[in-house]
């Protein structure tokens, strides 16, 4: 591929030199009918190129895209996305056709006359109203989904987990039996109390600090995010979840995992993507990849921003309870 790239460069430079030397005796500056013919044909060819590329991308790149949402809340997100994407896809195909086909069809010629057509209230009304109505419907669904995702009712009894960010790592803290996180502040950071938890707070005693997320399937999780230094963003693409971590404030996001990691590994989209990745990895002599949920940093945060990640494992509820009971409470760890 690198060789190909050098060849391309050489060709590009060659072409430019060739053309630039021609300019010395080449003084035509205004499009003639002949130019119009040529450029019109190129426009048509470009339209074909654009269509081919769009169709190729839509088909061939399907496999690299994220698999279906692994959270209950993400379903609506996927639905809305599909509707929106089809809609803009159709408009895109139609509009590009009109733009380049008209360029071809109405190419200039000295025998032609343009139509003096300056205004039409009817047309203007049509293409103001149709987008407006479509958009109102889209916004309606969008806002409904947004409220559904962003507001967590008290009656939902979510499991509270804190995700804590710093350059360049993630930590997590489970709220323990009382499901209440102990207060945290950077002033309490000392020794092994790396998340700055106020150990005089009674609700902090049963909190459990971990370096990997374990989540139970089918239970709503309410994440609370804090940052120790700069902005970070906790991005969990498979769950269609993202929230910034802001120093000085606590932000939140909630979702309900729908598939365990084991189940997700059987998902046909995941299998296809994993196969593709492993083919590449085998060719390079690297270890095979196995699907895992991941939390990655998605707000520029410094040199190692590109490698700030935490593994997420979704398991059945019993297994989750068992794992959680094996973790030590802060009271046990920090005296």
Partner 1 sequence: MSDHHHKETFVTKYIFSQDHKMISKQYLVTGIFMGIIGGFMSMLFRLQIAWPDTSFSIVEAFLGNHQTDGIMNPDMYLALVTIHGTIMVFFVLTAGLSGTFSNLLIPLQIGARDMASGFLNMVSYWLFFLSSVIMIISLFVEAGPASAGWTIYPPLSALPQAIPGSGTGMTLWLVSMAIFIASSLLGSLNYIVTVLNLRTKGMKMTRLPLTMWAFFITAIIGVISFPVLLSAALLLIFDRSFGTSFYLSDIFISGEVLHYQGGSPVLFEHLFWFLGHPEVYIILLPALGISSEVISTNARKPIFGYRAMVGSIMAIAFLSTIVWGHHMFVSGMNPFLGSVFTFTTVLIAIPSAVKAFNYVTTLWKGNLQLNPAMMFSIGLVSTFVTGGLTGLVLGDSALDINVHDTYFVVAHFHLVMGVSALLGMFAGVYHWFPKMYGRMMNKTLGYWHFWLTIITAYGVFFPMHFIGLAGLPRRYYTNTSFPMFDDLADINVFMTIMAIIGGAAQLIFIANFFISMYRGQKATQNPWNANTLEWTTPVEHIHGNWPGEIPEVHRWAYDYSKTDENGEYVHGKDFVPQTVPLLDGEEPS
Q: Is residue 192 involved in binding partner 1 (CB under 8 A)?
A: no
Alpha helical stretches, state H, 228-315: 261-266, 268-283
Instruction: Please say which residue, 172 or 243, places its beta carbon nearer to partner 1.
Output: 243
CB distance 242 to 233 below 8 Å: yes
Residue 55 binds partner 1, judged by CB under 8 A: no
Q: Which of residues 280-319 bind partner 1 (CB under 8 A)?
A: 280-281, 289, 291, 294, 296-307, 309
Closest separation between CB of residue 258 and partner 1, Å? Answer: 15
Q: Which of 70, 145, 161, 315 is the binder for partner 1 (CB under 8 A)?
A: 145
Element (H, E) at 312: strand 309-315
Q: Which of 104, 117, 116, 88 is nearest to 40 (CA)?
A: 104
Q: Distance between the two ends of the chain, CA-based, in angstroms?
A: 58
Question: 195: exposed, middle or buried (C-beta count within 10 Å: 0-12, 13-18, 19+)?
Answer: buried
| Sole binder of partner 1 in the list 44, 72, 189, 210 (CB under 8 A) | 189
| Selected range binding partner 1 among 18-26, 198-206, 209-217, 312-320, rule: CB under 8 A | 18-26
The single residue among 237, 263, 311, 323 that binds partner 1, judged by CB under 8 A, is 237
Q: Per rule CB under 8 A, is residue 98 in the interface with partner 1?
A: yes
Least gap, CB of 181 to partner 1 (angstroms): 16
**Binding to partner 1 by residue 321, rule CB under 8 A?**
no
Separation between Cα atoms, residue 267 and residue 309, nearest integer Å: 23
At 213, list the tokens: 């997320």
The string of DSSP letters for 59-102 reads HHTTTTS--S-SBTTHHHHHHHHHHHHHHHHHHHHHHHHHHHHH
Give yes or no for residue 86 binding partner 1 (CB under 8 A): no
Which CB sits closer to partner 1, 176 or 299?
A: 299
Identified binder of partner 1 from the candidate list 48, 49, 52, 333, rule CB under 8 A? 49
Q: How far apart are CA 68 and CA 74, in angstroms?
A: 8
218 scored as a contact of partner 1 (CB under 8 A): no
Pick the binder of partner 1 from 52, 55, 91, 333 (CB under 8 A): 91
Residue 64 CB, nearest approach to partner 1 (Å): 5
Residues in the chain: 335
Q: Judged by CB, which is closer to partner 1: 30, or 153?
A: 30
Contacts with partner 1 by CB under 8 A: the residue count is 134
74-105 vs 121-150: helix crossing angle, rounded to 10: 160
The answer to the question of residue 202 lying near partner 1 (CB under 8 A) is no
As measured in angstroms, the least distance from the Cβ of 262 to partner 1 is 17
Give SS3 for 27: coil
Looking at the DSSP assignment, which residues form a beta bridge with residue 214? 313
Candidate ranges 53-61, 172-180, 206-214, 311-319; the one touching partner 1 (CB under 8 A): 53-61
Interface with partner 1 (CB under 8 A), residue from 48, 52, 143, 333: 143
Contact between 3 and partner 1 (CB under 8 A)?
Answer: no
Phi and psi for 286 in degrees, rounded to 5? -100, 165
Of 44, 108, 267, 323, the one binding partner 1 (CB under 8 A) is 108
Tell me: does residue 211 bind partner 1 (CB under 8 A).
no
Q: How far apart are CA 293 and CA 66, in angstroms?
A: 11
Supply φ then ψ for residue 291, to 5 degrees. -60, 135
Cα 292 from Cα 102, distance rounded (Å): 49
* Binding of partner 1 by 191 (CB under 8 A): no
């Amino acid at each position: 591929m690198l060789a190909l790239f050098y060849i391309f460069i050489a060709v590009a430079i060659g072409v430019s030199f060739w053309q630039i030397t021609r300019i010395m005796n080449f003084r035509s500056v205004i499009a003639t009918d002949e130019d119009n013919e040529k450029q019109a044909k190129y426009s048509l060819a470009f339209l074909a190129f654009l269509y081919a590329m769009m169709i190729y991308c839509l088909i061939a790149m399907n496999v690299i895209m994220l698999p279906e949402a692994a959270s209950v809340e993400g379903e609506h997100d996927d639905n809305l996305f599909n509707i929106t994407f089809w809609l803009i896809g159709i408009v895109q195909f139609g509009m590009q056709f009109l733009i380049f086909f008209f360029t071809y069809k109405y190419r200039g010629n000295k025998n032609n006359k343009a139509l003096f057509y300056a205004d039409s209230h009817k047309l203007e009304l049509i293409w103001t109203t149709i987008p407006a109505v479509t958009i109102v419907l889209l916004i309606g669904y969008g806002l409904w989904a947004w409220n559904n995702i962003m507001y967590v009712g008290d009656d939902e009894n979510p499991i509270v987990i804190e995700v804590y960010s710093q350059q360049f790592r993630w930590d997590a803290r489970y709220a323990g039996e009382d499901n209440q996180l102990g207060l945290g502040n950077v002033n309490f950071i000392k020794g092994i109390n790396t998340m700055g938890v106020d150990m005089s707070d009674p609700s902090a005693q049963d909190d459990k600090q971990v370096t990997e997320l374990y989540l139970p399937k089918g239970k709503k999780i309410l994440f609370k995010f804090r940052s120790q230094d700069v902005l970070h963003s906790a991005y969990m693409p498979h769950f269609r979840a993202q929230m910034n971590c802001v120093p000085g404030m606590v932000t939140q996001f909630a979702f309900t995992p729908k598939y365990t990691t084991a189940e997700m590994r059987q998902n046909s989209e995941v299998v296809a993507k994993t196969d593709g990745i492993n083919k590449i990895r085998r060719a390079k002599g690297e270890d095979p990849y196995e699907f895992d949920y991941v939390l990655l940093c998605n707000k520029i945060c410094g040199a190692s921003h590109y490698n700030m990640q935490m593994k997420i494992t979704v398991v059945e509820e019993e297994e989750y309870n068992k794992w959680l009971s094996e973790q030590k409470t802060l009271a046990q760890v920090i005296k």
